[in-house]
Amino acid sequence: MRYSFKPSGVCSAQIDFDLENGIVTDVKFTRGCNGNTQGIAALCEGMKADEVIKRLEGINCGGRGTSCPDQLAKAIKMAKEQ
C-alpha cells in the first residue's frame, strides 16, 4: 500500500513510500537534501519496516530534534498502525 506523510521540523515537504507485508519499498522524499534523501531511500529499499525504524529513529539533524531519516521512521510507524 502507498503512504504519504507530511514531515515536520525538516527540509523535506513530503515522504511517500510503499509498505507491503512489512517491507519498505519505493521511498521518495519531496525536497530536502537531495543526495542524502536519495541515499536514505536506496538504503531502505526492500528492508523490513521494523529494521528501518530501529536504524533511523532518533537521528538528529542540526539540533532540530529530528531529521529526514527520523521522520521516515515516524511515517513507517504510523503506516504500521493503520
CA atoms in the 13 A half-sphere facing the CB of 69: 20
pLDDT at 1: 97
Query: In this predicted model, what pLDDT tens digit does every residue of 20-77 receive, in sequence order?
Result: 999 999 999 999 999 999 999 999 999 999 999 999 999 999 999 999 999 999 999 9
Beta bridge partners of 18: 2, 25
Q: 27: which 3 cell numbers?
A: 521511498
Domains of the chain: 2-81 (3.30.390)
pTM for the whole structure = 0.96
Backbone φ and ψ for 5, nearest 5 degrees, come out as: -135, 135
